[in-house]
Amino acid sequence: MKLLAVGLASLTLGSALSIAQKANYDGYKVYRINNVGASRSKVIDLVSNLKLGTWKGKAESSGVVDVMVPPSLLEKFQASTETIDTELMHENLGAAISEETNFSVYAAGAAPNSTWWSSYHAIADHTQFLKDLAAAYPDNSEVISAGKSLEGRDITGIHIWGSGGKDSQKAVVWHGTVHAREWITTMVVEYAAYQLLSSTLAADLAYKNKYDFYIFPIVNPDGFAYTQTSDRMWRKNRQSTSSSSCVGRDINRNWPNQWSQSGGASTSPCAEDYKGQAAGDGVETKLLKAQLDGVAAGKGVKMYMDFHSYSQLFMYPYGYTCSGTLPTGSSYSKLASGAVAAIKAVNGLTYDAGPICNTIYQVSGDSVDYAYQVAKTEFSMTVELRDTGNYGFVLPASQIRPAAEEMWAGLRYVLTNM
């Protein structure tokens, strides 16, 4: 969910023109800037003047800002931050990306097992994994599609049900990888699907007997594919805009509910949080909305969850306003606090819980508010997964399984107690 700075024009972000060759981040450094007090105006000028890509935070308001610095600007950056507290996150971003993209080979037709979470994978392998998972559990699952993306890729998901048969219970809908560069979300969502089908624990078996699950690990397949072929740091979808040469909409600012709220999204097509030309005009947004609306019109939706990275947060409505009072706020707060405790019990990681706007920043046109306000989902939530900034978006493969295990503990708490 993290934003990149609005006024970017360089190859670093791939936010403007389509990139002819793969973006090269060799020698790029990522810094965390302490953005408080008198230093804030300096940080605003620094990010703007050097056109730095921002991973986390907003220079105008956030306490810390994580930025990418290309080799050509390193000397200027260091000179400009002599009186500002900074911390080095990535010594060489390109090297970290190379290590992360050392994919393992996946054998099509193999029985899904825990080795899947030992590395990241190519997009085609993710599709095959879901097919193999459904084939291994044909009595309780099937591969589904929310439709075709702009570039013709299926938004592939898996439908999981219990002893009552398909569509016999209220729905649980989970979305991963709405922001293309957030690779850890794909793996965590797939792990949850795997646990629902493979676990023999009585509590886990009860979940699919109580709810129908519609799980989509990659809801932005074009953007995700682009991170693997052209620019690892790409965020948006790949949709063009008639008024600009810049590419992409932020699917999580484009839902037709509380769209275009001041401060909640950008009006600039070149911005990473661009809201789109009209509410719900994103190709993928329309499909995801239709799929959610469809299950809501049936038995209804008990829970919606949108998975993001990074910051270690467990959140709920509202995103579009920081002053709105959620009628069921006490129930949400109790669930989120319990989930955070369950997560911490696995590996000791601390997550913070609270409403989206108050916990991270204002977000308008987001899926969580739509699910709650329009689709009438009883519990609509979002998470920011590992970590808090040591690795950011480029989380080492060694952390995939721990991240998945701790989040499954949090999800189990919510499924048990909601």
Q: Are strands 154-160 and 170-175 parallel, antiparallel or unpaired?
A: unpaired
- 350/334 Cα distance (integer angstroms): 16
Q: How far is it, in rounded angstroms, from Cα 418 to Cα 414?
A: 5
Alpha helix (H) residue ranges in 307-398: 329-347, 356-359, 367-373
Q: Are 116 and 105 a contacting pair, CB within 8 Å?
A: no
Q: Which DSSP category does 112 fall into? A: P
Contacts of 225 by beta carbon, 8 Å cutoff, 6+ apart = 123, 151, 153
Among residues 364, 368, 251, 360, which one has the least CA distance to residue 312? 360
- Of 100, 190, 284, 384, the active-site residue reads 384
Find the distance separating the first CA and the last CA of the chain, reported in whole Å: 25
SS3 of residue 222 by DSSP = helix
The answer to whether 381 touches 84, Cβ cutoff 8 Å, is no
User: 319, 192 in Cβ contact below 8 A?
Assistant: no
Residue 384 is a catalytic residue: yes
Whether the Cβ atoms of residue 303 and residue 411 lie closer than 8 Å to each other: no
Query: Does residue 310 have a cis peptide bond before it, meaning omega lies within 30 degrees of 0?
Result: yes
Q: Which residues are known catalytic residues? A: 384
